[in-house]
Chains A and B, each alone.
Chain A
Amino acid sequence: MENFSEPMGFLIDNTKCMGCRACQTACKQWNNLPAEKTVFFGGPGYQNPKDLSDSTFTLIKFREVIENNKIKDWGYWKKQCQHCIDPSCKAACTAKAIEKIAYGPVIWDEAKCITGCSLCKDACPFNIPRFGDNHSTKIRKCTMCYDRIEQGIEPACSKACPTDATIFGELKDLLAIAEKRISSKPEVYHQYIYGKEEVGGTSVLYISGFPLEDIGYPDK
C-alpha cells in the first residue's frame, strides 16, 4: 500500500501549458460531468466556459502577454480548487460537511451539506465552490480525484496533460521540482512558487512566467 501520510498535491507549471484543455475534458470524462451551453468565448482567448460551475471543476484561462504593443507570448493557466492546507471553507461550514484529508484533498459529505447554503463559497479566497443553477445542488468542485488516488491512479487532469504542465505527487517532491525549475531558468520563470505560503499554504503549487497576482490570485 502507498503511504498516504505524506501530503500530496499538484504542481502546475504555466510555462509548459499549451492550452490544449485536455485537463478540462478529462475531468468531465472521469467525473461524468455534463457540458455547458456556451457562446463564442467566455473570456480572453479561447476560454470556455465563462467560469467554474457545478459541472466544470477545472478551467484553462488564456492571456495574451504584450510587450512594446506586440504579442510576446500567449499564456495559459489552470483554475481549480487549491485544496488549502487549512481550508477556510471547512472552517466556515456550519454543517461540518467539509473535510480536509491529511494527504491532500478537500472533500465533503454529501449527506451533511445543506442545499442553498453558500458559506463555503463566501469564505473561499479563490472563489471555488459552486452549486447548480439557483442552488439546485450541494457543493460541487474539484475533488483532487481522491477516488482515483485511493486506488493508486493519479488524477484525471494530470494524467491527461501532454506536456506535464500539471503533475501530481507528494508536495515535498513537487516543491523541490518547482524550486529547481525556477532557479535553473530565471529568464523563463517569475521567481516565486505560488501556493507555498498563500493562505497558509495550498496543495496546488504554481510556477509561472508572470506573477499570479497579475491575473487576480490573492497575494499573501
Chain B
Amino acid sequence: MPAVQETVEHVRSIDVDQYKYGFVTDIESEKAPKGLSEDTVRFISAKKNEPEWMLAWRLEAYKRWLTMREPTWARVDYPKIDYQNAYYYSAPKRNVLASLDEVDPEILRTYEKLGIPLREQEILAGVVKPEGERRVAVDAVFDSVSVATTFKAELKKAGVIFMPMSEAIREHPELVRKYLGSVVPVTDNFFATLNSAVFSDGSFVYVPPGVRCPMELSTYFRINEANTGQFERTLIIADKGAYVSYLEGCTAPMRDENQLHAAVVELVTLDDAEIKYSTVQNWYPGDADGKGGIFNFVTKRGDCRGARSKISWTQVETGSAITWKYPSCILRGDNSRGEFYSIAISNGRQQVDSGTKMLHLGKNTTSRIISKGIAAGKSDNTYRGLVSAHRKATGARNFTNCDSLLIGDRCGAHTVPYIEAKNSSAVFEHEATTSKISEDMLFYCRQRGMSAEEATALVVNGFVKDVLQQLPMEFAVEAQKLISISLEGSVG
C-alpha cells in the first residue's frame, strides 16, 4: 500500500495554512443578479439557451420551492441561510470551446495546484497515451460550467454520451426529458427542488445497451466565485446490460461567507446494468471556529429500475462545514443490488449527517452498507440510514456495518439506523461499533518511529481500508491524502 507513504509525505508538505486548496483563481466571471426570483430562473435558462420545456420545468420547481420549508431533522446546527443574499449563476466568460487549446491556462494551473493526478492532467493537456492503457476522461466543471470535455471522440465511438448537462438538454432532449427528475422528483425535498429551479450545470452520461464504458468518467467540481451557490445537476443512465464507473471529486477555495451547495445526482440502471459512482469530497470545512465553510446539502439517488441491475455508491467525505447527504438506492427491479460504502471524516467544528437509504421494492433484492465515521476535534458525525422492505419485496436482504472512530474527547459519533421490514421474509443485519484510537496503539506506532500524525494517519487508514478498497485506484491515493489532511491537528 504505497499510498500510506504518500499520505505521510503529503502531511509533511502541508504548511501553516492547513487548507492548501484555499486559493481563488483570478478569472472574470459573469454573475446573475444577486438573490432568487423568477427572473433569476429565467436568466439562468436564457444564459444556457434552453428550450422552452426546460424553462417551464425550472419555473414549476421554483414555484414549488416557495411553498417548502427547510428540513430540520438532521443533527446539524447552522445559522439561518439568507437565500436572497447569494448568487445563483456564475460562469467563466470564455465558455464556448472547440478544443482543449482554448482552455484558460489559469484553469489548467488551478488543476495543477489541486494536484489532479498526472494522468488526468495529461489528458487535459491533450497528451495521447498508448492504446489499451486505462484512461480517465475529465468533464471539468469549473464554477458551474463545464469547461472542457475530453475523450469525447473515443466515447462517441463506443456510443457513450458524456457531456455537460446544459449541452445534453439541447442535443439529447428526448433522453433528458425522459429521465431528468425521474429518480429525484422536482418535489422531492427543499434542497432538491431548489436545485431543480436553478441548477447551473453538471454531467450527463448515457451508456447504450450492452456497452461497457471504455474508461472511468471523472468530473472535478470546484467552487471558485465568492458567494456563489453551487447547484450541480448530474444524470447518469446505464441502459440494458451497460456498465459505467463515474468519479467525482472536488476542492474549494478558502473564503469567509458560507457557501451553499445543493447538488442533485440521479442514476438509472435498466435490466442487467451497473453504475459505480465514487466521490471524494473536500469542500472547504471552515476555519478553526467553523466559520466560512461550505454548506453541503446533496440529494443523490439511484434507481435500479431494471431486473438484476446494480448501483454502488462509494464516498469519502472529508470537507464541508455542514454535510447533509444520503446517497440512496431504490431497488425496484427484481434481483437488483444496491451498495453504499462510506468514509465520513469530521474535524474542527464540522458537522456531518450522512448515510444512505436502501429501499427494497423488487423481489430478491440485496443491499450492503459499510459506513466508517471518524470524528476528531469538536466535530459531530452522524450516520443516518434507512433500510426498508416493501410488503412485496420477498427475499430482501441487507447487511449493514457502521463503525465509528473517535479521536480525542470533544467530538461525537452518532448512529441512527432506521429499519422497516414489511415483508416477513426480509433478512436485515445490522452491526455497529464505536471505538477510540487507543493511546496504546499510538504509542506502539510512535515507538517504531512515527510521529503522532503519521501514527494517526496509519491507524485511520487501517480503519477505513474496507471502503478505500472499493475506490478505483485513481481515487484511492487521493482519498488517503485527503483523510490525512482533514485529520491535521487532531492529535497532540
Partners in one complex: no
A residues with CB within 8 A of B: none
